[in-house]
Amino acid sequence: MEKINQFIDRYRDDLIKKTQEVVKIPSVEGKCQPGKPFGEEVHAALEYVLTVAQEMGFATKNLDGYAGYAEMGEGNETIAILGHLDVVPEGEGWTYPPYGAEIHNGKIFGRGTIDDKGPIIAALYAMKALKESQLPIHKKIRIIFGTNEETGMKDMEYYLSKEKNPDIGFTPDGDFPVIYGEKGIQIFSLQQKFSNDCFCVNPINIKSIKGGTRPNVVPEQCTAILQVVDGYKPKLEKQLDDFTNKNSCKIMMQQEENEVVLVSQGISAHGSTPEKGHNAISQLLVFLGGLEDCNYGVFSFIQVYSKKIGMEYNGESIGCGFEDDISGKLIFNVGVIEADENQADIKINIRYPITSNGKDVLDGITKSLEGADIDLILHEDSKPLYVSKDHMLIQSLMKIYKEETDDYDAEPITIGGGTYARTMENIVAFGPLFPGDEETAHQKDEYISIENLIKITRIYGKVLYELAK
């Protein structure tokens, strides 16, 4: 397989250039147009890679702008590489232009460099190197270009309505060595309505609570606007001081005309790893739930929250503290809250163990909340992904990874997050992020190092040969 490396080295400059060119296309989902379901820029990125693939000599197809593919080889079985060309918005605070694809210190900077455009170009050049090496293969190899991974994955629904599921394959949309299991993912709301006749019964009344941005993000801020009866403010201040000192946390009190505003500051993190952050919503509700003389209306909901959720992130107290030996403990993240004197609504993101199921999770929560008059509304349930470590696909990917990295102690992993692999059967995530590397996907100053871009191209080329020979 040394031939593959020789061809990859020959095309090193082209590989870098093509990565830069596709990164320069700001392929954030835009307004739907005829033949361009996810907008002009996403369509431009799809057309770009299809043109590059055609110039490499591959057969290509555009599936009505929803997806496309490039293909080589013959046979009854198809090996697939599944990648996406759409990106999340660039955000602010970049050191270099987010769509400039500039090279600094051996790194290509830009939105999509690691997620997922760099790996897609790497996979294309891996196919090209395999093709030109003339090594014997007996299966089809297809790289599938997705366009809607970041905002709904409707691209793969459409793809599978037109094309067969490949026999096996991988997506360069995760971590090395190889991800053989992904937890199930649920998003749901807990809601409760209150009677207005409770308003003004408490010495403190809550006009509103708002916090968080998305269910799968640990909220870094939550704000409560309160009405406090005359003479109670000193007691509220003391209770707040006692709470923040005891728990080493930050909740600021501000006086605005006739209202008191509490601002809870946490630390943001991904919802799949809430232990890396500090939940500003939970912190504030635990404080409010412990206030003296406050028992009516929205406070009844808050007290249930304090008891059943609190600062936990594994669901133990709310009846869903499942775990298994394969993927570990369930992960429970409260991401968004909107509440006032009439209603409360929190949105929750759960990652449940591979051997569990969504029904057991919901049944456990429902039973735990029995009698609390709180409604559970399910929005999404994505089943776990699991491929045995003994499966030929996992064994083949691990074999090449170990040979190319000399990391012979590496073992396949499971994660709490979800990758593009979930959209198809018999697909697992395989790179592009190496163990210990900085994770910059969805962050400012996203980059891929040129060294790793070449390295993953070599790995993918040899894996394709291993699977297709």
Question: What is the DSSP track for 99-155?
Answer: TT--EETTEEESTTIIIIIHHHHHHHHHHHHHHHHT----SEEEEEEES-TTTT-HH
pLDDT at residue 2, as a whole number: 83
pLDDT at residue 200, as a whole number: 53
Check whether 54 has a pLDDT greater than 70. yes
Active site annotation includes 363 = no
Alpha-carbon torsion angle 124, 91, 433, 354, nearest 10: -110
pLDDT at residue 144, as a whole number: 98
Please, which residues have CB within 8 angstroms of residue 75's CB and are 6 or more apart in sequence?
137, 138, 139, 140, 468
Report the number of distinct structural domains present in the chain: 2
Instruction: Tell me the two tokens of residue 464.
Output: 């394709």
pLDDT 10s digits, 257-297: 779 999 999 998 888 889 999 999 999 999 999 987 777 78
User: Distance between CA atoms of 121 and 24, rounded to whole angstroms?
Assistant: 13
Please, which residues have CB within 8 angstroms of residue 16's CB and are 6 or more apart in sequence?
103, 108, 450, 453
114 and 162, same domain (yes or no): yes
303 and 439, same domain (yes or no): no
178 and 188, same domain (yes or no): no
Write the CATH number for 198.
3.30.70.360
Residue with tokens 């320069």: 24
pLDDT at residue 248, as a whole number: 92
Q: Is 136 exposed, middle or buried (0-12, 13-18, 19+ CB in 10 A)?
A: exposed
The rounded percent of the chain whose pLDDT value lies above 70 is 99
81 and 215, same domain (yes or no): no
pLDDT tier for residue 198 given thresholds of 50, 70 and 90: very low
Task: Tell me which of 81-90, 172-181, 395-404, 436-445 is least confident.
Answer: 436-445
Q: What is the mean pLDDT of residues 62-72?
A: 98
User: Distance between CA atoms of 335 and 214, rounded to whole angstroms?
Assistant: 6
109 and 246, same domain (yes or no): no
* Phi, then psi, of 127 in degrees rounded to 5: -65, -45
Do the beta carbons of residue 68 and residue 60 sit within 8 Å?
Answer: yes
Q: Is 317 exposed, middle or buried (0-12, 13-18, 19+ CB in 10 A)?
A: middle
pLDDT 10s digits, 290-320: 987 777 788 889 999 999 999 999 999 999 9
pLDDT at residue 28, as a whole number: 95
pLDDT 10s digits, 90-124: 888 999 999 999 999 999 999 999 999 999 999 99
CA atoms within 13 A on the CB side of 230: 0
Domain boundary, last residue among 382, 411, 445: 382
308 and 440, same domain (yes or no): no
261 and 363, same domain (yes or no): yes
303 and 196, same domain (yes or no): yes
pLDDT 10s digits, 428-456: 999 999 999 998 988 889 999 999 999 99
pLDDT tier for residue 199 given thresholds of 50, 70 and 90: very low
Check whether 158 has a pLDDT greater than 90. yes
116 and 54, same domain (yes or no): yes
Which of 41, 115, 149, 220 does the annotation list as catalytic?
Answer: 149
Domain boundary, last residue among 382, 404, 426: 382
Which of 86, 150, 155, 220 does the annotation list as catalytic?
Answer: 86
pLDDT at residue 418, as a whole number: 85
Active site annotation includes 149 = yes
- Domain with 451, as residue range(s), is 2-182+386-468
87 and 144, same domain (yes or no): yes
223 and 328, same domain (yes or no): yes
Q: What is the pTM of this model?
A: 0.84
Instruction: Tell me the two tokens of residue 360.
Output: 């057991």
pLDDT at residue 201, as a whole number: 65
Domain boundary, last residue among 382, 409, 429: 382
Mean per-residue pLDDT over the chain, rounded: 94
160 and 260, same domain (yes or no): no
Write the CATH number for 116.
3.40.630.10
